[in-house]
């Protein structure tokens, strides 16, 4: 594991623990020193963010707002093994839209979600490794589209990555 991968796991542990209303360290005193620097920084960042916002999902990345601002579509899971999920911010209910998928973008008219899928075959070794698959090269990525209400199967659009909608929702770049 690289130093960065370890730092991400440590930061997530601190954030998850604090989000559960618990302390990540014993009540006697907060640990100090270089070995605890990442944890202390994660604690500080969590408390700064908690003053301004609330955490809506524990496992997710690359979120996109619905045009009416009531929902978020995001990648759920871990990099390399993720799906596209929608959360209704008022009710807190989540709905899995499609698997596999990542980097979703909501259309401005609210009817569709564009997202990315990998053309890389999923190997058993990828699933059984502890830290997930390696990031798929851009050349092996595809842009797909699905109705935001989930009433249709996803459709392939083109090879590519990082979908971005035109303002009129008629084109994806």
At residue 157, the pLDDT reads: 96
Q: Which of 72-104 are b and which e, b meaning 16 or more Cβ less than 10 Å from the residue's Cβ?
A: bbbbbbeebebbbbbbeeeeeebeebbebbbbb
Instruction: Report the SS3 class of residue 5.
Output: helix
At residue 137, the pLDDT reads: 82
Question: What predicted TM-score, i.e. pTM, was given to this entire model?
Answer: 0.76
At residue 51, the pLDDT reads: 94
At residue 39, the pLDDT reads: 96
At residue 169, the pLDDT reads: 96
At residue 143, the pLDDT reads: 97
Strands (E), the chain: 61-65, 71-78, 81-88, 94-98, 102-106, 112-118, 141-147, 155-159
121 vs 140: CA distance, rounded Å: 10
- Among candidates 25, 146, 90, 83, which has minimal Cα distance to 74? 83
132 vs 146: CA distance, rounded Å: 26
138 vs 131: CA distance, rounded Å: 20
Cis previous bond, 76, omega within 30? no
- Taking only the tens of pLDDT, the chain with its 173 residues reads 788 888 988 998 999 999 999 999 998 889 999 999 999 999 999 999 999 988 888 788 899 999 999 999 999 987 667 899 999 999 999 999 999 999 999 999 999 999 999 876 656 665 556 555 567 788 889 999 999 999 999 999 999 999 999 999 999 99
């Amino acid at each position: 594991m690289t130093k960065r991968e370890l730092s991400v796991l440590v930061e997530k542990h601190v954030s998850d623990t604090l989000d559960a209303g618990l302390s990540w360290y014993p009540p006697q005193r907060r640990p100090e020193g270089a070995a605890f620097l990442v944890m202390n920084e994660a604690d500080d960042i969590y408390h700064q963010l908690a003053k301004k916002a609330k955490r809506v999902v524990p496992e997710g990345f690359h979120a996109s707002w619905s045009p009416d601002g009531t929902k978020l579509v995001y990648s759920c899971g871990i990099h390399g093994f993720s799906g596209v999920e929608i959360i209704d911010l008022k009710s807190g209910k989540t709905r899995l839209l499609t698997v596999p998928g990542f980097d979703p973008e909501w259309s401005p008219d609210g009817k569709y979600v564009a997202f990315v899928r990998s053309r890389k075959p999923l190997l058993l070794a990828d699933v059984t490794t502890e830290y997930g698959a390696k990031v798929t090269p851009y050349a092996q990525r595809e842009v797909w589209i699905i109705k935001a209400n989930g009433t249709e199967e996803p459709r392939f659009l083109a090879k590519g990555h990082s979908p971005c909608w035109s303002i009129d929702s008629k084109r994806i770049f």
